[in-house]
Structure 1
Amino acid sequence: MRGIWLAGGVLFLGLGLLGVVLPVLPTTPFLLLAAGCFARSSPRLHRWLLGHPVFGPPIRNWEENGAISRKAKRLAVGSMAGVLVVSLVLGLSWKVLLAQVLLIAVGSAFVLTRPNGPSA
């Protein structure tokens, strides 16, 4: 079972790193999944991810407080809104737009209702 968790961690880490350069792929959710998988399979990789200067702070904020920083909230909701605007400009069908609006509303509600975490 440990090998499955490790493989999942590597997969999600790879997807998260792809999300850094591909604007349509989210980074943080995949890194949170990677951290969860590594916590169950490799304490060394889990510590490495939590100690990373860029990726570690938001993961630690989530693990310790169930929180998303204000900056991350703005970025997440802004990105979702940007995708919707691009979809409108591209003239996607109303069914696709409706699905996006519903999913973005749910995603935004989740993100915005999380605590901000400890003050920096």
Structure 2
Amino acid sequence: MNRVRRTFWVIGGSISLLLGIIGIVIPLLPTTPLVILAGFCFGKSSPKLHHWIETNRYFGKYIQEYQKGNGVPLNIKLFAISIVWIGILSTLWIIPLILVKITMILIACGVTIFILTSPLLKEKEINKQDI
């Protein structure tokens, strides 16, 4: 069972990382939250993959800052919240079941609260560390 779980975590992390990379060129996908999710998944499954993403020159600084508890930049938070609500509200028009609509809204509220209560990283903090 342990091997099956590891495989699912690796697949989940890989999909999240792929979507995050696609989000670099497609503005509707939030890159940073997806990359942080990939780091979490890799941390649960593979020390090698976790180390790779944590030391990656493009994504590593965001994962390291998040793991230190320093948070996510404000523009990323606002973008992620916007994407969540745009996706939920646009889907509500398609789904006819009221219970499903209520569940989706509750999930979106939960995600929004999580994002808003997570630590905020100021961009200047990252830039100072890069120098």
TM surpasses 0.5 = yes
| Contact persistence 1:35–1:46 (CA under 8 A) | yes
- Compute the displacement of 1:103 (Å): 0.7
Query: TM-score under structure 1 normalisation?
Result: 0.72
- Compute the displacement of 1:3 (Å): 6.0
The answer as to 2:113 corresponding to 1:109 is: yes
The number of aligned residues is: 117
Query: TM-score under structure 2 normalisation?
Result: 0.67
Partner of 2:129: none
Partner of 1:89: 93
CA gap 1:91/1:46 in 2 versus in 1, 3 angstroms: closer
Bigger CA drift: 98-107 or 52-61? 52-61
Q: Once the two structures are superposed, what CA deviation does each residue of 1:28-52 show, in whole Å capped at 9, x if it has no partner?
A: 45313234225xx43x433321122
Bigger CA drift: 77-86 or 3-12? 3-12
Partner of 1:80: 84
Counterpart-to-counterpart distance in 1, 2:53 and 2:5: 15
Partner of 1:27: 34
Q: Once the two structures are superposed, what CA deviation does each residue of 1:29-84 show, in whole Å capped at 9, x if it has no partner?
A: 5313234225xx43x43332112233222211211125122122112101111112
Q: Identity over aligned residues, as a percent? A: 19
Q: Give runs of ≥4 in structure 1 deviating > 3 Å.
A: 1-9, 20-24
Unpaired runs of 5+ in structure 2?
127-131
**Residue number among 14, 36, 43 corresponding to 1:36 in the alignment:** 43
Unpaired runs of 5+ in structure 1?
none
Partner of 1:13: 13
CA gap 1:63/1:35 in 2 versus in 1, 3 angstroms: farther
